Amino acid sequence: VQLQASGGGLVQPGGSLRLSCAASGLTSDYYAIGWFRQAPGKEREGVSCISSSDGSTYLADSAQGRFAISRDHAKKMVYLQMNNLKPEDTAIYYCAARYMRSGVGIVRCDMGAPFDSWGQGTQVTVSS
């Protein structure tokens, strides 16, 4: 499974960006895709996640009311809509996938548990 994150860029405070994560080679219908970010000098932070198993989602407190996650199951794409961006949102954003290698099951958005595959990251810079 290979993940490709895209959609980052430079935006002014209050602006919006939509990040995309394309999961190629993901043949399972049971997976969770999460978004993480890491700012310089800071630890990686789980931002959001969506599970294909039950459609459940996770949003970090810092993202509540501003970010929204969605997916296109057929295309194995996940999107992170980020509105009202703030300078503290500046970071490299990574998408990651956790998935069933065989059979069926529920794959949850446990942001503290290991993810199986990671993308290369996309830079988001919020600055005036």
Cβ(48)–Cβ(59) below 8 Å = yes
Q: Is the pLDDT of residue 28 over 90?
A: no
pLDDT in tens, 58-83: 999 999 999 999 999 899 999 999 99
In the structure encoding, which two tokens stand for residue 103, read together?
Answer: 């059979």
pLDDT at 91: 98
Q: Is the pLDDT of residue 103 over 90?
A: no
Residue 20 confidence class, pLDDT cut points 50, 70, 90: very high
- Take residue 14 and report the two structure tokens written for it: 């209050």
Is 127 a residue whose pLDDT tops 90?
yes
Averaged pLDDT score across all residues of the chain: 95
Cβ contacts of 5-11, under 8 Å, gap ≥ 24: 5/93, 5/94, 5/95, 5/119, 5/120, 5/121, 5/122, 6/122, 7/122, 8/92, 8/93, 8/122, 8/123, 8/124, 8/125, 9/123, 9/124, 9/125, 10/125, 10/127, 11/85, 11/124, 11/125, 11/126
